Amino acid sequence: MCADKSHDKKPNFILSLLGNKCARCRRGSIYSSTNPYDLKHCMDMPEECPVCGQKVEVEVGFYYGTGYVSYALSIAICVASLIAWWLFIGFSIYDNRIFWWLGFNGLLLLILQPLIMRLSRTVWMAFFVYYDENWRQRPQVTGREHSSHLKNA
């Protein structure tokens, strides 16, 4: 058990989010396909995490709330692209640059959509399922059980 821990480094939270990893072990992928632009299968998820066995769909309809995350991510991307456009190209009332930005931003959001959708689910899962450093020893727990367990601790 101790020998296990010594070489078990906790994976970085942000990198595991960006890599669409399971929130409990931060190692297993929560998507069956690694390619987000394989549009037919990009949202396919295994039943449980291939590494720690965490249920990927924690409860029925678990991922309905991802709309909020995806909305927030989209707004953040719009703001970032607006600021970048403002700094590098600029806006003026004498030409159509603002409309070019609108078109560019729409296209950017469309192209990034599969990535945003996948990331939203990963972020949503991380809201409810926390990293468990003893994921090798303990059986999987659902998000709700896990948070009540933390409150009692």
In the complex, which residues of this chain contact Zn ion (CB under 5 A)?
22, 24-25, 28, 49, 51-52, 54
Q: Which is nearer to Zn ion, 21 or 36 (CB)?
A: 21
Q: Which DSSP helix (H) or strand (E) runs through 78?
A: helix 66-88
Closest distance to Zn ion from the beta carbon of 95 (Å): 52
Q: Which is nearer to Zn ion, 22 or 69 (CB)?
A: 22
Closest distance to Zn ion from the beta carbon of 51 (Å): 5
Closest distance to Zn ion from the beta carbon of 49 (Å): 3
Closest distance to Zn ion from the beta carbon of 152 (Å): 23
Q: How far is residue 20's CA from residue 30's CA, in Å, rounded to a whole number?
A: 6
Backbone angles phi, psi at 48, to 5 degrees: -140, 160
Q: Which is nearer to Zn ion, 25 or 42 (CB)?
A: 25
Write out the two tokens for 14.
């942000």
> What's the chain's Rg over C-alpha atoms?
19
Closest distance to Zn ion from the beta carbon of 38 (Å): 22
Q: Which is nearer to Zn ion, 25 or 117 (CB)?
A: 25
CA distances from 42 to 36, 120, 131, 150 (A): 5, 13, 24, 33
Q: How far is residue 108's CA from residue 117's CA, in Å, rounded to a whole number?
A: 14
Q: How far is residue 24's CA from residue 142's CA, in Å, rounded to a whole number?
A: 10
Q: Which is nearer to Zn ion, 38 or 48 (CB)?
A: 48
